[in-house]
Amino acid sequence: MTGKRKGYITKISGNMVSARFDTFVVQNEVVYIIHGGERLKSEVIRVRGKNAEMQVFESTGGLKVGQEVELTGELLSVELGPGLLGQIFDGLQNPLPQLAEKCGFFLKRGVYLEALPDDARWEFTPSAKKGDKLRAGEKLGHVTEKIFKHYIMVPFNLRGMLEVVSVAKKEKYDLKEPIARLKDENGSQHDAFLQQTWPVKIPIEAYSEKLKPSTPLVTKMRLMDSLFPVARGGTYCIPGPFGAGKTVLQQLTSRHAEADIVIIAACGERAGEVVETLKTFPELTDPKTGKPLSDRTVIICNTSSMPVAARESSVYTAVTIAEYYRQMGLNVLLLADSTSRWAQAMREMSGRLEEIPGEEAFPAYLESRIASFYERAGVVKLHDGSTGSVTIGGTISPAGGNFEEPVTQATLKVVGAFHGLSRERSDARRYPAIDPLISWSKYKSFINIDQVGKAHSILRESNNILQMMKVIGEEGTSLANYIIYLKGEFFDFVYLQQNAFDEVDEATTDERQSYIFDFIYRILDSEFEFDNKEGALHFFQKIRQEFRGWNSAQWRSPAFTKIEKDISSLVEGAVKKKEKANA
């Protein structure tokens, strides 16, 4: 572009700045505000005549009417290439550790660093040959990043069939050296690099088709996997009041879920929680690979006191990086905590724009924004036939813990699974506090569907009986009903609840889940006979205690086998009695 396009500030209100331009303006283009030596990043969000309104990703203190702004013509983008794994970025993809080295304790505004270090050199192994015809997203070769083959692909923004004119030979290159030259259908030539950039708000669609999510994503949380499963490439949400354990749940999932890569987007939440993740992950080992967990993780963090507008960009940055790794045929899990803070950032900006507010002052486009974000999840078939997936799990922090609010409702419409946390369960220290009576999932579990149905119905009946007992007392309840109540409680205690502080119990593999569920199902399905309620209570308390030990015994260890035998004989004892009585 010849000559920089410029404008001047006319209005400042919070993190919204208006400017007047004598030139053309592109919606969503990045604009820099020039404030002395500082250049503050902002994004055009509305154009009206010669005026445009921008959301500023920094504090606006000290800015003045009449100051110059510089248009870039580029949409807000991220850098994609080897070196992302293990990084900690802010919402604009600034690497935070490097920022700390440069600026010390505080996040100085207007300082932007390269997301990927320019000086890093990667050994590139070509796979494409001269003369090959490739489409955007197809592989040119790879470099090795941590434990992954990081494929270098034809830039996503090129259209049509491209002919490979030349490919670099196997050697070390930095991110800015061309590694291939491609010719498009019109005959123009393009260079490909180890790195490419992509605008965050546009989904990457360099694949052949989108498939229906069907394989379960094992999170090793029994309540989720068995009753309310999430599929690879699916979406789920976790709404819950404060203190119900949303963040702990996300942290456990980020550690144990069977995904190749986990992207954590800490959006508008406590800094302390991110600190815990980023200080502990390098020390925790991934049982699957034996490498530190940080090797498969990217953290995007824009905590609650960081600039509000960057919350929005943080979720988009995260999902774009997720899509990038999906293009390599990997299964990526994106955890966003919390999407409500992102919605609030939209509300704040909408208020400053003086748009007509919808419910609870959220903007009218809240639903469509949420929907298009979750729609970026999915399983895709790539051009070479392999598949990759992005699974999105978002927490929601509803005001007053009331799920009837706009963000929860808008999200429920578009996700495939709903894990609703309840204050009652967390107060009773029943963790994870996902309420089995309100949650649902549209995906298939690896557990038999009829058995899952039966378990659900016992939980419901048990709760009904409990509610009744609160009114008429234990005396007024029949023994048969009392046993159903105990079965429900038993199932909750030994299967649905999981102790996050027990190193065995905190994560249960799918193999073990299937086995244990089957075992419990037989107990739930058995008809017991007891002399009285006390006998029934005593029996269930006893097997419950045994089960606790069983849950913390290593899978298939001698202790595991022994406890299993003990429980079996206890159960048999109780069932046999009934058969004798019948005989």
Binding site for other proteins (CB under 8 A): 10-14, 59-66, 88, 96-97, 99-100, 103-109, 241-243, 268, 270-272, 274-276, 278-280, 301, 303-306, 308, 341, 344-345, 347-348, 351, 357, 360-362, 397, 399-402, 427, 473
CB nearer to other proteins: pick between 165 and 500? 500
CB nearer to other proteins: pick between 120 and 271? 271
Closest approach of other proteins to the CB of residue 481, in Å = 19
CB nearer to other proteins: pick between 97 and 453? 97
Give the burial class of 446: count Cβ atoms within 10 A of its Cβ; 0-12 exposed, 13-18 middle, 19 or more buried: middle
Closest approach of other proteins to the CB of residue 556, in Å = 26
* 510 HSE (CA, 13 A, CB side): 14
Q: What is the distance, to the nearest Å, from the Cα of residue 423 to the centroid of all Cα atoms in its chain?
A: 23
Rounded Cα gap, residues 136 and 382, in angstroms: 11
What's the first-to-final CA gap in the chain, in angstroms? 93
Closest approach of other proteins to the CB of residue 315, in Å = 16
CB nearer to other proteins: pick between 56 and 153? 56
CB nearer to other proteins: pick between 125 and 463? 463
Residues 6+ apart with CB under 8 A from 177: 168, 193, 194
DSSP 8-class letter at 224:
I
- Dihedral (C-alpha) 238, 241, 243, 244: value to the nearest 10 degrees? -50
Query: Which tokens is 96 given?
Result: 């935070």
CB nearer to other proteins: pick between 117 and 351? 351
Closest approach of other proteins to the CB of residue 262, in Å = 18
Rounded Cα gap, residues 169 and 507, in angstroms: 45
Q: Look up tokens 């995904």; give the residue.
A: 259
Answer yes or no: are the C-beta atoms of 275 and 310 closer than 8 Å. Answer: no
User: What is the greatest pairwise CA distance in the chain?
Assistant: 97
For residue 316, the surrounding DSSP H or E stretch is helix 309-326
Closest approach of other proteins to the CB of residue 280, in Å = 8
CB nearer to other proteins: pick between 149 and 548? 548
Rounded Cα gap, residues 459 and 456, in angstroms: 5
CB nearer to other proteins: pick between 108 and 159? 108
Closest approach of other proteins to the CB of residue 397, in Å = 5
The SS3 call for residue 376 is coil
DSSP 8-class letter at 287:
T
Closest approach of other proteins to the CB of residue 26, in Å = 24
Closest approach of other proteins to the CB of residue 102, in Å = 10
